[in-house]
Amino acid sequence: MPNQKSGLGKGLNALLPDAAAESGSNAEINELPLNLISPNPNQPRTNFDDSGIAELGESIKKEGLLQPIVVRPDGKKYQIIAGERRWQACKNIGMETVPVKIMQVDEVKTLELALIENLQRTNLNPMEEARGYKPLIEATGMTQEQLADTVCKSRVAITNAIRLLDLPDEVQEMIYEHKISSGHARAILAVPDEEKRIKLAQKIIDEKLSVRDAENLARLFSVDQGERKSRIPSPRTFKVVARKLRQELGTTVQVKNSRGKNRIEIGFQDEDDLVRIFNIISGKTAE
């Protein structure tokens, strides 16, 4: 079996001892009053399932808290590094104290461990994942490739996740609320215009479009915008001349600019009609 990458591949239990070694702490298990513990404000997960936490609380009632909450000192209190769901469940069932591991780690390491724990235990919402990666990159200065190695994901997966942050806030909220998928979001990103991104996202929801349908529609949206950007309004003279030529020649006439070149296009039905038009233009009879 090939060696696994560091980070998520090593497992959270392996990372925590590493963090303890860095801080010079053995991270012994202690009991702390629940009211001295607060959640990490930079916790990647922002949407916790109430029913899941209630079930966890019932399990803790029966079996006890089998895995301690990992915290770090924060002034006179403690901030959660890993285990916010367990902390919430303990609060819900009225526990006064909980077993904890106290670790001396900085804010960057806390953010890294919190992100890895959430990725490892339950799939994060795509927007939660993207919003978790961004501050970690900003805080550490690591490249997307280094981050990919840390959380044991491909660089492409990291890039695709972070690109979601380029979407309008309205579309990000749709992803967060599971109204559209990451696949839909990638299709929307192919549309350059922000207003059209919002319009496409809403159309995906209203018409329950598949990812393939969204991709096809995104191409139409993009082509339409590209044409509008490159199209220069025709001078009024073009329209006047085209109208007069249509009257004179008795056929369809277009005067336009195509790819930087001005053109006159004259339609004809058949060979006889072509000869007729030639005679009018030249004032001669075609041989």
The DSSP string of 91-106 is HHTT-SEEEEEE----
Q: Are residues 217 and 274 in the same domain?
A: no
Q: Are residues 240 and 226 in the same domain?
A: no
Domain count, the chain: 3
Q: Are residues 204 and 240 in the same domain?
A: no
**Structure tokens, 213:** 């349908």
Instruction: Label residue 117 by pLDDT band (50, 70, 90).
Output: low
**Domain termination residue (choose one: 101, 122, 143):** 122
Q: Are residues 117 and 192 in the same domain?
A: no
CA distance 83 to 138: 24
Instruction: Label residue 256 by pLDDT band (50, 70, 90).
Output: confident
* Residue pLDDT, tens place only, 61-106: 888 887 888 888 888 889 888 778 888 888 888 888 888 888 887 7
Instruction: Label residue 46 by pLDDT band (50, 70, 90).
Output: low
**Domain termination residue (choose one: 122, 142, 158):** 122
Domain encompassing residue 205: 167-230
Q: Would you say residue 243 has pLDDT above 50?
A: yes
CA distance 256 to 58: 75
Q: Are residues 110 and 12 in the same domain?
A: yes
Decide: 91 and 61 in contact? Cβ < 8 Å: no
We report the CATH number of the domain holding residue 116 as 3.90.1530.10
77 falls within a domain? yes
271 falls within a domain? yes
**Helix axes of 155-163 and 182-189: crossing angle, nearest 10 degrees:** 70
* Residue pLDDT, tens place only, 176-209: 888 999 899 999 999 988 888 999 999 999 999 9
CA torsion angle 18 24 26 30 (round to 10): -110
Q: Are residues 226 and 240 in the same domain?
A: no
The residues that are catalytic are: 84
**How much is the pTM?**
0.50
Average pLDDT, the chain: 78
pLDDT at residue 43, as a whole number: 66
Q: Are residues 22 and 60 in the same domain?
A: yes
**Structure tokens, 230:** 């490159």
133 falls within a domain? no
Q: Are residues 241 and 209 in the same domain?
A: no
